[in-house]
Structure 1
Amino acid sequence: MNAKYINRIFLVTLLLFAGVSSQAEVKLPKLVSDGMVLQREKPLNIWGWADPSEAVKVSFKGKTYKTKANAEGQWSVTLPSQQAGGPYSMTINHIQLNDILIGDVWLCSGQSNMELPVRRVMEKYREEIEKDDNPNIRQFKVPMTYNFEQPQTDYKYGSWTKAQKESILDFSAVAYFFAKDLYAKYGVPVGLINSAVGGSPAEAWVSKEGLAQFPYFINEAEKCANDEYRNKTTQSENEARNNWVTTLNANDAGTALWNKENTDDSAWGTITLPGFWEDKGVAPLNGSIWFRKHFEITDNTNLEDAVLRLGCIVDCDSVFVNGTFVGTTSYMYPPRIYNVPKEILRKGSNNVTIRLISYSGKGGLVEDKPYSLTIGRQRIPLAGEWKYKIGAEMPALGSTTFFQYKPIGLYNGMIAPMRNYAVKGVIWYQGESNVGRNKEYEKLFPALISDWRNKLNDPQLPFLYVQLPSFLKATYSPAESGWAELRNVQTAALKLPGTAMAVVTDVGEWNDIHPLNKKTVGHRLSLAAQNIAYGDTQVCYSGPAIKSISINGSKAILTFNTFGDSLKAEDKLRGFAICGADGKYVWAQARIISPDTVEVWADNVASPASVRYAWSDNALSANLFNSQGLPAIPFEIK
């Protein structure tokens, strides 16, 4: 074989490998992947990256679409709108994507009440969830990512998962029940892009352009864009926290001792739990306290694996049963549910020990939560008298800077990468972290909605949101309320077209900022979607909304848009407050006098000037609904 022929073979081989290498450079965003749900009845943008000028061919449902990457290596093709269906396959050069559905895609965002997964509500919905198996409901869980320098083009990781078996436990509970409702009605696949972060304020979710009217937010974001500042802050706070924990453990007299089964607690103090120890006669302190409860298992009990429920604990706990460690939780919010193997239980005397750490503020066991050990069908109550002993007192731990809560960061990291992905609409559950800044939120929330519609290139994008639920203890007299004021701001955003609000004041929990009833929330969002996004205008999606007030002597006459057939209350109307010119509100009496009218009065208010309804942090007692069972929107009217 001569040298010229060998060189020709080598050149051909080199060119072939170069072609393979070139095609291997095609890259897709994480959203465009196996199992994705594409939005029906909208043009579909498929995009990615490749070498500059590289030819890209997309094949889908028997048709082929061609393009080339631009000088920056970006490419995109637009597929014509499609009808619901699947599963399908799609080929993009050498990449084949499988199990693709076409249906409705919803962006699900906000803070922890949107993020809260199905696994956190299994105690309430276990029987239902364990029966559910729907591969046509899918979720893409966006990883928590923030960036202050520029909008990101892709997520670090992520994949589409189906509402089946174990994977369903990681779905957003609100979003899952929302999707389940929609699928039951329309039979169309539903994709959920779960992009939510616990504790996040609204400004973290708005782009730099969207915050133009808030220069102080932009200044803060520019400060956070400095890597040195972020790194030094994080390092300093981590060191302080580690030192605090190390000192606590070194000084805690009970470490590795008081958790033991045979610990003598006869000289320990006594306390009634649940409750905060500061409210139970124990001096206010931060640090560690050990609690122990003795309980009996009767001789006729069949020993089997048990479930220990310790409500919610503030802040951190480590739990032992008969000296054996059974679980720990590092922060206050999750319900404490620990499995107890039958091998560590015995008939007769047993004990449970809690090492509780309080970082700052009040510490203790949250009231009105379940505290028990369940063995089979037997429930052993654990509320009541406990023993306690202080392990170590510490100064309050300093605060932590959560950079994910800073302006612009979450928009750049968690919303910007999906801007090209067509969606049906947005469901949003947020506001808790903006309570106390209600005037600001009055402009910020509409700015967020407009910003997302602009960035997602859909000026009419349906934006459905949840009003704040009831929270904190009920007040005996009418009072000012930051939560009520923010709810009022949320109501004002309904002026924007294509919006709807799910009122959930009746399903909150006074002692839990994460109420478990996520099914009702999802259902009410789905009603809003059916009407606003799907055009089913006969669907009642809102409770009564105040229209007008008139004064007739000592009585205020309120007229409502009922949205349903008529106003309704199961019992005597509650939740109304009234004031005269002095502005001092008192609880009022009220009665429904026509399908859309309520009469309100108070014996000591001769000339009414204003009426409030459900105007408190905790409005669980308010009971005005429409005949379709939806609660009235809280209001203040003058």
Structure 2
Amino acid sequence: MNVHKLVLFLLFVSALASCTKTTFIETPVLFTDHMVLQQNAAVKIWGKSDAGAEITITGSWGEQVSCTTGKNGEWMAELPTIEAGGPYEVTLSSGDITKTFGDVLLGEVWICSGQSNMEMPVIGNWAQLDNAEEEAANANYPSIRLFTVERNIAFAPIDTMSTIGWEECDPTTINKFSATAYFFGREIHRKLNVPVGLIHSSWGGTVAEAWTSKNSLLEMGDFDATLEHISHMDGSQESLIKQYEVETEQMNLEIKKADIGLDNDKALFAAEDLDDSDWTKIDLPTLWEATSLGNYDGSTWFRKEVTLTPALAKSKLTLQYGAPDDYDEAWFNGVKVGENKAWAELRQYEIPAGLAKEGKNVMTIRVYDNTGAGGFMGEVKDFQLVSDNGKNLPIAKNWLAKKGFDFKDIKTIPVSLTDPNQPTVLFNAMINPLLQYTIKGAIWYQGESNAGRAYQYRKLFQTMITDWRQQWNIGDFPFYFVQLANYQPRNAQPVDDTWAELREAQTMALSLPNTGMAVAIDIGNPLDIHPGNKQEVGRRLALNALAKTYNKEVAYSGPMYKNIEVKNNTIEISFSDIEGELSTSDNKNPEGFAIAGADKKFVWANAQIEGDKVIVSSPKVINPVAVRYAWSSNPACNLIDSSELPTSPFRTDNWKGITE
């Protein structure tokens, strides 16, 4: 080609290119006014435009980068940021199209996720935050920015989500925002004096496998059947609803056949003359995983005989009991008096006139548990027959219990179109859309819903953490989590306990690099699974970040079990991570220690602090071999160090637990 023709060709190509006009620039809802971008990083910014369009991204702090959209119109660029500050503008431009985001801050960006104790807002009907009104009124932090992902599930990864976008933290916006996340962010902001961006994505009552991607769960092998079922959820909404209805009907038929307390719709176990001599004796409230009934999801039947005086039998009676998990049905003298599918709420069922009688009466309750622990929560005083003559009858003690069915025996488990407690569905909908956004790290408060499968959680939790790090593809970013707080009635004697085993599984995740744990064993509420002191929870999470991520000289751990040495009839316990000296929170002798010999029978131990060790013994155990500390849902425990942070619960044995 001669020079003249070459020039004409280049002019033609140039003219053709000039006719390609950019008509739009789109970005995900993560990019709005008031957003926070991670400081001192190459932050990803992405979106869609016309195929072949050149997009220029400019940060008013002095950085600019360009990229060209692909054939599918998608584009992504990495915009360098500088040290924390602002406000700035970020401008996207291509041709005649310009899109600008204002009031942008550079600072520290954290993902905040988990179940209800992360979701719990500063102010809400179910939230009972300590000093809530005062905290909200004082939440004037314009350099803290809030972003909430709305609840959603998806059966395959999606890129879109619903949100109102980034907001400044003030007394109005903070009300519905995660209290734990806010107090964490507030502490980071105060101590570092930098803007903080909090991306909140959580859902109460959810399990960890719902927050984990498919490929990582397949590596575990525990959820293969459900994952295979979910992988076929690609039909129309109408067909999926029909499929769910058919499978639910089939599941209910299988449950009726599997539940030994039922004969189709007839409640055999509610019969007044039933022989229940082989049932398990039990006091309420309790979760059945903490008893000899064992660890299973399904149903459990509870029966109790009560003797009524003539006056009580003739009065207007109400059967009252506390907080079934998940839902219940109740019978009185073989007649059904109520049912309720609300989780963890007080039950009050009126006894129809003429049903109660003088002398012997039989109460029967069937509790159905779909996932996690099952049984009763609440207080002993919640369990009573309430009379309109003011003479109430306590009924918490001396029940009998028997397993009805185990979900492991049910072949048909439908995939719900709305249930968040299914593998991958929350990762797909509420984490996947965030994966490109450049973050500093993550905080996590979850585990209550996996307590019944604590042994599995040992691997599941670490799988989820590793999964997120692989998906974000920015290395082993900081991941800090809350160990479950104390909850439930306090046990009088040492027990095996699902929550203790779950806390142990959480502690094991510290073997992963760049992780940290906020121990909350001393700041829970035995009567409320959602304790109100989220200020301290957030602070303890922030201590981990300040020490491990930001290299501040602060205590963050509290004493951690290191090893033991058996000396005659005593056991000497050594600890790591001691700040200053060991002591107790109430200036009394250490409590919460239990000791056992080779027979594996634990008894309470006498404990004394000697330097940086605790010495335990019991006259009931001549040759001790194992120690447990704070090993129950709501233990009496008081060992701290000079930082006043509590010692994490632990055990020195590896004997088979109730969730193994």
**TM-score of the two chains, using structure 2 as the length reference:** 0.71
1:318-366 Cα deviation digits (max 9, x unpaired): xxxxxxxxxxxxxxxxxxxxxxxxxxxxxxxxxxxxxxxx996999994
1:290-342 Cα deviation digits (max 9, x unpaired): 9xxxxxxxxxxxxxxxxxxxxx833699xxxxxxxxxxxxxxxxxxxxxxxxx
Alignment of 1:225-244 (within 5 A): 225-227=231-233, 230-232=240-242, 234-235=244-245
1-structure distance, mates of 2:67, 2:449: 45
Match of 1:106 in 2: 110
Match of 1:188 in 2: 194
Between the aligned residues of both structures, percent identity stands at 37
- Letter paired with 2:150: P
Match of 2:301 in 1: none
> Greater CA deviation, 48-57 or 230-239?
230-239
- Letter paired with 2:170: Q
Q: 1:589 aligns with which of 606, 614, 622?
A: 606
Q: 1:438 aligns with which of 447, 454, 461?
A: 454
Alignment of 1:399-414 (within 5 A): 401=416, 403-414=419-430
Q: 1:565 aligns with which of 577, 580, 583?
A: 580
Match of 2:179 in 1: 173
- Letter paired with 2:609: I
SS in 1 for 2:81: coil
1-structure distance, mates of 2:537, 2:170: 21
Q: 2:142 aligns with which of 135, 138, 142?
A: 135
Match of 1:72 in 2: 72
Tell me, yes or no, if the aligned pair for 1:268 and 1:387 is still in contact at 8 Å.
no
SS in 1 for 2:438: coil
Q: Cα distance 1:167–1:74, how it changes in 2: closer, same or farther (>3 A)?
A: same
Q: Cα distance 1:95–1:366, how it changes in 2: closer, same or farther (>3 A)?
A: same
Match of 2:628 in 1: 612
Match of 2:122 in 1: 118
Match of 1:147 in 2: 154
SS in 2 for 1:82: coil
| Aligned-residue offset at 1:423 | 0.8
Q: Cα distance 1:145–1:551, how it changes in 2: closer, same or farther (>3 A)?
A: same
SS in 2 for 1:102: strand
2-structure distance, mates of 1:407, 1:365: 26
- Letter paired with 2:624: P
Tell me, yes or no, if the aligned pair for 1:313 and 1:364 is still in contact at 8 Å.
no
Match of 1:632 in 2: 647
Q: Cα distance 1:282–1:541, how it changes in 2: closer, same or farther (>3 A)?
A: farther
Tell me, yes or no, if the aligned pair for 2:489 and 2:527 is still in contact at 8 Å.
yes
Q: 2:565 aligns with which of 544, 550, 561?
A: 550
2-structure distance, mates of 1:283, 1:470: 37
2-structure distance, mates of 1:403, 1:274: 27
2-structure distance, mates of 1:56, 1:165: 38
Q: 2:437 aligns with which of 402, 421, 433?
A: 421
Match of 1:205 in 2: 211
| Aligned-residue offset at 1:218 | 4.0
RMSD: 3.8
Tell me, yes or no, if the aligned pair for 1:148 and 1:221 is still in contact at 8 Å.
no
Alignment of 1:56-455 (within 5 A): 56-61=55-60, 62-93=62-93, 94-119=98-123, 120-122=127-129, 124-149=131-156, 151-227=157-233, 230-232=240-242, 234-235=244-245, 269=316, 313-314=345-346, 366-367=378-379, 401=416, 403-455=419-471
> Greater CA deviation, 165-174 or 121-130?
121-130
2-structure distance, mates of 1:116, 1:425: 20
1:213-233 Cα deviation digits (max 9, x unpaired): 223424412312434574235
1-structure distance, mates of 2:135, 2:152: 33
2-structure distance, mates of 1:553, 1:610: 13
2-structure distance, mates of 1:584, 1:66: 68
Alignment of 1:452-467 (within 5 A): 452-467=468-483
Tell me, yes or no, if the aligned pair for 1:524 and 1:541 is still in contact at 8 Å.
yes
**TM-score of the two chains, using structure 1 as the length reference:** 0.73
| Aligned-residue offset at 1:159 | 0.6
2-structure distance, mates of 1:143, 1:17: 42
> Greater CA deviation, 221-230 or 81-90?
221-230
2-structure distance, mates of 1:224, 1:287: 38
Match of 2:41 in 1: 42
Match of 2:253 in 1: none
SS in 1 for 2:223: helix
Q: Cα distance 1:104–1:71, how it changes in 2: closer, same or farther (>3 A)?
A: same
> Greater CA deviation, 227-236 or 97-106?
227-236
2-structure distance, mates of 1:218, 1:276: 33
Tell me, yes or no, if the aligned pair for 1:271 and 1:385 is still in contact at 8 Å.
no
Q: What is the aligned length? A: 516
| Aligned-residue offset at 1:121 | 3.3
1-structure distance, mates of 2:80, 2:625: 58
SS in 1 for 2:546: helix
SS in 2 for 1:121: coil
Q: Cα distance 1:580–1:271, how it changes in 2: closer, same or farther (>3 A)?
A: same
Tell me, yes or no, if the aligned pair for 2:48 and 2:73 is still in contact at 8 Å.
yes
Tell me, yes or no, if the aligned pair for 1:50 and 1:69 is still in contact at 8 Å.
yes
Match of 1:308 in 2: none
- Letter paired with 1:585: F
Q: 1:477 aligns with which of 493, 504, 510?
A: 493
Match of 2:360 in 1: none
SS in 2 for 1:622: coil
1-structure distance, mates of 2:602, 2:160: 52
Q: Cα distance 1:586–1:220, how it changes in 2: closer, same or farther (>3 A)?
A: same
Tell me, yes or no, if the aligned pair for 1:468 and 1:504 is still in contact at 8 Å.
yes
| Aligned-residue offset at 1:511 | 2.4
> Greater CA deviation, 206-215 or 456-465?
206-215
1-structure distance, mates of 2:333, 2:140: 51
* Structure 1 unmatched runs, 5+: 1-14, 241-266, 291-311, 318-357, 371-383, 389-397
- Letter paired with 1:189: P
